Every structure is written in C-alpha cells, then in structure tokens.
Amino acid sequence: MNDELKKEDAPDLSVAVALFNEVETVPPLCAALDGVLSKTGLSYEVVLVDDGSTDGTWDALKEAKAKYAGLRLIRFRRNFGQTAALAAGFDFARGKIVVTMDGDLQNDPADIPAMLEMMEREGADVVSGWRKDRKDSKIRTFPSQVFNNFIQSYLKLPIHDNGCSLKAYRREVVKGFHLYGEMHRFVVAHAKWVGAKIVEMPVHHHAREFGTSKYGALFGLAKIPRVVLDCITMRFMLKYSAKPMHLFGKIGGWCLLIGAAMLSLVGAEWFCSRFGCSPWFGGAAGTLLVKRPFWVIAPFMFLGFAIQFFIMGLNAELNTRTYYESQRKPVYNVRETL
C-alpha cells in the first residue's frame, strides 16, 4: 500500500494510535489531536487502529472522521493485541515522521510538537517519551519499573521508560521492522541496532479518566516471565541472528572444556590406580570411574538437556521470524478501512 503512494502525497507527520474498547476517549482524543496538529504547520494524518473493539469504538471513530480532516481508520476483525495494532500503525502510516501513542489520553498530544522540535534540534532519529511523573498507582508502576530497569541494562538502551507509548520515529528507522508476538516493547532496541540516534524527553502523563487499562492484565505482573523471555530473544536476534554459531559455538566450547576437564580427572584417577597409586579422592582405586558414575554421566546429561532446550527455543523464534518475514505473513487481519 505504501509503495503505491506517490512521494509528493506523503504527509510530513503520521500519528498512529491503538484503541481497544475506548469509546469514551475517542471524542476528546480526536479533538485534542486536531487542536495540536493543526497548529504545527505540517501536513499530517492520524491513523487510528481499532483493535477489535466491542463497545462502539468503531462507530465513535466514524463519527470523528466525519468531523475532523486527516483521520484514517483501521479496523481489525478481532482483538489481535498491542503489537499487531502498532504494526498496523507503522504499515498504514505514510508520514516522514511516525509518532505512536496510546488512545487512553494518558499520553498528552500536546507533547508532540516539542518532540518534533527536539528531533530536529538534536538530529535524532527517535525521540522516546519519559513518564517522569507517572500518574498510575504503585501496583502498576512497580512492575513497569522492574521491566524498564531489566530491559535498559540487558539491552543497553539509553532511555529510562521503554514502556511509554509516546515516541517519535523517522520513517526510515522503522521501515522493514516487522512486529510479531509481543515485540512492541523492542522497537527502540531495533532502532539502536540499525544505528539510530535515540534521545529521551520527559512528557506529561495523565491519570486515566475513562475505563480501565486494556493492555495490562494483572497490572503487568503476569508479563514478567514473558518480558524476560522476549528480552533474551530480542538480544539473540539483534546480536546473533546473522551469526548464531558465535553464540552456540561459545556455549559448545565451554561445554567441551568442562567435559574434557571432567574426563581428564576421571582418566587420571584411573591411570594412577593401574600403578597402585592412591587416588586423591580417597577410597579404593578407580572410585570415580567405577563407584561414582555420576561424574561421568550426570554432567553430560544435564548440559545436554540445557543446550537442547535453549537451541529448541531459539530455533523456534528463528522459525517464527522466517515465517512472518520471508512469506510476508501479516500479524493482523483488517476488516475495512476508511
């Protein structure tokens, strides 16, 4: 779709917003976006992705489209999740700069002009919002802080708040990055991998006025194992996807070294016992080889299991990536567009 668009028709700015059962926020959200973006002096579009809402969100979006210029509506057949909604936003956005934000009005559209100004001033490719004064309860912010600290240290990202949806990207940075699974958390990591300059800006954060969070069951606590596994996968994809043997060879090398050391110990003990030497572990000659088979069998068994499971998991991730990218399989299904 984007390839068919003439370059002179591409707007300066696209704002991509994911919504799921946000019927009450649609009118104030669209009014706020129109009020802010119309004053920037830029050509713009607002891509609103309805992620399979069941509460009348789509009807509210259609009413907003009749009232405000520049709205483009995408409706999924069912709820595909936040990653798919963000992927659709990137796919349908045509602007030279793409801004992403949540549709619950906790992100403030008024921060967008400042983010664009900072992008130009700093020569940045990505401006990431930082909810420095977050208006959520501690039971929601604590898991988020754990995630941010872990992701920041593990993936070495130069930002404090990876979970903030309000971000601005130059189009060329996110072009060709195909989202699947729950990889919406790692767009900035991908940008860092391609060499983008990333800066962070404190942004306003408002308490939710309508409804409850749709993309954060159990206050994020249930996501802890998934985030850790996704981080491991993402680091593998960024660092070793083109050279997996550098990782697996390193693991195999250490396993070989440990195995060789253990066998050498057992062999030396057996060799000494042939000449009547007292084994250094005490007991009868050949104790390790004959009476303690654990030293021969168990280390190889457990190391083998560990390597097998890690390789199976990583191979599954690689196969998933191949499935979506080589065959261009979408992670969402659009019912209609306006």
Nearest to 14 by CA among 215, 228, 168: 168
Q: Which residues contact 51 (CB under 8 A, 6 or more apart)?
A: 18, 19, 20, 76, 79, 80, 81, 82, 84, 85
Domain boundaries, the chain: 10-236, 244-326
- The domain at 10-236 falls in which architecture? Alpha-Beta Complex (3.90)
pTM of model > 0.85: no
Give, for all 338 residues of the chain, the pLDDT tens digit.
Answer: 344 444 457 899 999 999 999 999 999 999 999 999 999 999 999 999 999 999 899 999 999 999 998 999 999 999 998 889 999 999 999 999 999 999 888 999 999 999 999 999 999 999 999 988 887 666 666 667 777 777 777 778 888 888 889 999 999 888 877 777 777 888 898 888 888 899 999 999 888 777 666 545 444 566 667 777 777 877 777 777 656 766 776 777 777 788 777 777 777 777 776 666 655 555 444 565 556 677 777 777 777 877 777 777 777 677 767 766 676 656 665 666 77
Are the beta carbons of 173 and 191 closer than 8 angstroms?
yes
| pLDDT recorded at residue 12 | 95
| pLDDT recorded at residue 231 | 79
Are the beta carbons of 44 and 15 closer than 8 angstroms?
yes
